[in-house]
Amino acid sequence: MAGRFTLGTMNTGSTAASTGASLDIGIGGMTCASCVARVERALKKVPGVQDATVNLATESARIAYAPSEQIEARLRRAVRDAGYEPRAADAAIMADEDSPWSGFAPVATGLLLSAPLVLPMLGDLFGKHWMLPALWQCLLATPVQFILGARFYRAGWHALKGLSGNMDLLVSIGTTAGWALSMWLWLSADTGTMVHLYFESSAIVVSLVLLGKWLEGRAKRQTTAAIRALHSLRPDVAHLIGVDGEVDVPMAEVLVGDRLVVKPGERFAADGVLLEGQTQVDESMLTGEPLPVGKETGAALTGGSINGEGRVVMRVRAVGSETVLAHIIRLVEDAQAAKAPIQRMVDQVSAVFVPVVLLIALVTLLAWWLTGSPFELALIRAVAVLVIACPCALGLATPAAIMTGTGVAARHGILIKDAQALELAHKVDVVAFDKTGTLTLGRPKLVALKLAAGSVENEILTLAASLQGGSEHPLARAVVAAAQERQLKLVAPDNMRSVPGRGSEGEVGVRSFLIGSLRWMHELQVDVSAMGPVAAELQAQGATVSAIVERTTEGLTLRALMAFGDEPKPGAKEALAALRARGIRTVMVSGDNRGAAEAMARRLGLRPEQGEVMAEVLPGEKLARVLALKTGGHIVAMVGDGVNDAPALAAADVGMAMGNGTDVAMHAAGITLMRGDPMLVAAALDISDRTVAKIRQNLFWAFAYNAAGIPLAALGFLNPVLAGAAMAMSSVSVMSNALLLKRWKPAGH
């Protein structure tokens, strides 16, 4: 795979950009934050490119561009001309590792060749003089410098050609200066004179930098474990029921509509519906739900989940990139490829970092030399400055934490779509919840049918269910379900029309009806006064009340009231309490009348008297309510699951969509909660808090390391060997600190 394409609306942060295309390209040879800035500049110069984001941790670039011919070839050429190697988009993530010691051979060789050079330094501590002859020192150090260290020269030369700098340039200049100084001192010394050479400094610095990059690479592979784990959920083979019976076929040949056999313990090969049998399904890798879920005929099945004890037959409904698993992988990859806003500061620093370090090294050299120190000592001080200042840790601080945080969140059913949502979520101080399907089960039942004078119960229920038969609204489904329980015969309506946020109207036979909220009836000036007390009593009990009105020659006449009841989701009350314990204000937004909304709110532990309930909110008004909550500098999260929640989810600082909701809602939200569990809201805020804390810790130590290390090296308190070791360990410490996030679990797990 050369690159990974996505056509459609580009997402930058939480706001949509212009329609275009995006392409992911893997990039080999990057070593530090300066490399990232250089590749981004090269990509942005390609005609048609709108934006380019390079991630050091994933060793990849995401490019947004206006569609044009041969764009991928031009982008790959730009990467190569910048001095780096274009690769497959997921080459770094999906690279196979046969052994934990893979790639260690050059490091081991460098350490073995350097050990005899370092041994005399240890001997000096015990009064022993084990110094090797100059020729032996040269023979040991030169292969390390120019064979094992060739990668630094290649990358540094490309950086110079591009009039920029990077870690490799600093290492190559510093170690070459030490090696060249040693050669000059040796060859210019009188015969038989014992001179102090610095071959060991150059050799051990190269070896330690190689060791640091190897350890860094191992840590990077751990941060991408979440992506590899998701990819591994895809089985290679499916058992297809064809014309000749059951045959094994590659997954690439499975089509929508195929019937597949899934044996006990196997993974479902694609999304589909259960045709035959019953079983328990382990969906933990997709939803974070630890307990198996029972499935019977007609149940939805998700590709990648594990079949339990039953042999079942399924019909395929989605394959390839259209499956739920593919969607999850895309979301996690998008989040890990994105650049957090906090990274902009790092990019600005890294753009000038290497030139400034080169200047400091030159000033160090001249200052020591001109104040009377030997030239070789001045040069060694300058070499120490060059070596300790390598900005590897700076480039890894943010992406390493984001990759680990999003990966562990995905494992527990929290899909974070973009880095901006991750960075903002920890600042949230107001969370607005949609009611139906988010805080409640979203499966309301018809609990009462109150008739006006002259109406017949089964007749009215048949008419109402016939009108609502084609609607997906939860209340409409409840009416149809009630009619089916009574085995009433429904008829197809005519001229059906939905009125968003109010209800629907249409004709059944020769009669015309409207079904909708009491608010709509008041707008239409329908006289409901005769049943007003009944409606008020039902609302006081927490029911949602709808009216059935017939359009006659005399006008609009009330025929009946329908009362619907819903139940709070398990854990919803506890979830709201957990958010309140974090000092977060919670608000419920509902289209219900105030009585029903407040009754449900009290069952959930909300306090209507403190403004924690927004009732009678039409779908189009949710956006305005979210914007109103944002006034005064509040950071607002919106949690919803329906199509009508999408504008509000997009307008909120952080949108959270329930995974049991609609695709539109999940597309508009920055975070998707796969289990539809309200407890995951607090968990999402918690992992955001911990991830941002890791980013700040990493950036602090990366900056502090350079701020302390460069002056110490310039003042002569650090020799190149210690500087090389410190530089190598700085990158490893940043990666290791980020990997501590892998131990995170949501509260209660």
Q: DSSP string spanning 688-743? A: HHHHHHHHHHHHHHHHHHHHHHHHHHHTTSS-HHHHHHHHHHHHHHHHHHHHGGGG
Q: What is the pLDDT of residues 349-360, one digit of tens each?
A: 766 788 888 899
d(CA 302, CA 298): 13
d(CA 467, CA 492): 8
Query: In this structure, which long-range contacts are made by residues 323-329, counting pairs with CB atoms below 8 Å and at least 24 apart in sequence?
Result: 323/270, 323/271, 324/271, 324/286, 325/230, 325/233, 325/234, 325/271, 325/286, 328/230, 328/286, 328/410, 328/415, 328/674, 329/227, 329/230, 329/231
The per-type count for the chain, helices as H runs and strands as E runs, is 26, 27
Which of these, 626, 563, 543, lies nearest to 589 by C-alpha position? 626
pLDDT score at 17? 40
Quote the tokens at residue 388. 């300790």
Q: What is the pLDDT of residues 427-474, one digit of tens each?
A: 999 999 988 888 988 788 898 999 988 888 999 999 999 988 877 777
pLDDT score at 320? 85
pLDDT score at 258? 94
10 Å Cβ neighbour count for 170?
30
d(CA 231, CA 487): 47
- Angle formed by the axes of helices 720-739 and 375-388, nearest 10°: 10
CA atoms within 13 A on the CB side of 613: 22
pLDDT score at 226? 64
CA distances from 408 to 285, 412, 493 (A): 11, 7, 50
User: What is the residue whose two structure tokens read 């000036």?
Assistant: 525
User: What is the residue whose two structure tokens read 């004078």?
Assistant: 453
pLDDT score at 310? 83
Which of these, 126, 157, 167, 142, lies nearest to 35 by C-alpha position? 167
User: What is the residue whose two structure tokens read 């209340």?
Assistant: 475
pLDDT score at 454? 84
**Beta carbons within 8 Å of 139's beta carbon, 6+ residues apart:** none
pLDDT score at 513? 92
DSSP β-bridge partners for residue 586: 431
d(CA 462, CA 457): 9
d(CA 567, CA 480): 19
Domains in the chain: ranges and CATH: 4-97 (3.30.70.100), 255-318 (2.70.150.10), 415-441+568-682 (3.40.50.1000), 445-565 (3.40.1110.10)
676 close to 442: Cβ distance less than 8 angstroms? no
pLDDT score at 223? 63
SS3 per residue for 515-549:
EEEHHHHHHCCCCCHHHHHHHHHHHHCCCEEEEEE
pLDDT score at 148? 95
pTM: 0.70
Helix (H, G, I), strand (E, B), or coil: what is residue 306? strand
Q: What angle do CA 8, 9, 12 make, to 5 degrees?
A: 140
Mean pLDDT by 10 residues, the chain (749 residues): 41 41 87 84 92 85 87 92 85 59 88 87 66 90 95 86 77 88 86 77 85 75 69 86 88 93 92 92 71 86 88 93 81 68 70 84 94 91 85 75 87 82 89 88 87 89 88 83 90 83 85 90 89 88 88 89 89 93 92 83 91 84 87 88 75 84 64 87 94 90 85 90 78 87 83
10 Å Cβ neighbour count for 263?
10
Quote the tokens at residue 371. 């104040």
Strand 585-589 and strand 555-565: the pairing is unpaired
pLDDT score at 329? 78
pLDDT score at 121? 66
Q: Which of 90, 271, 334, 434 is catalytic?
A: 434
Q: What angle do CA 669, 672, 676 make, to 5 degrees?
A: 125
Q: Residue 81's Cα: distance from chain center in Å? A: 31
pLDDT score at 16? 36
CA distances from 461 to 516, 537, 548, 673 (A): 14, 21, 10, 37
User: What is the residue whose two structure tokens read 């069952």?
Assistant: 603
Which of these, 476, 503, 465, lies nearest to 591 by C-alpha position? 503
d(CA 432, CA 653): 11
Q: What angle do CA 18, 324, 72 make, to 5 degrees?
A: 45
Q: What angle do CA 651, 653, 659 make, to 5 degrees?
A: 80
The dihedral built from the CA positions of residue 669, 673, 677 and 683, taken in this order, carries a sign that is negative
Total residues belonging to the chain: 749
Catalytic residue flag (residue 434)? yes
Cα dihedral 715→717→720→722 (10° resolution): -150
CA atoms within 13 A on the CB side of 128: 9
Q: In what order do the strands lie in the sheet with 306-307?
A: 293-295, 279-282, 306-307
pLDDT score at 339? 67
pLDDT score at 6? 41
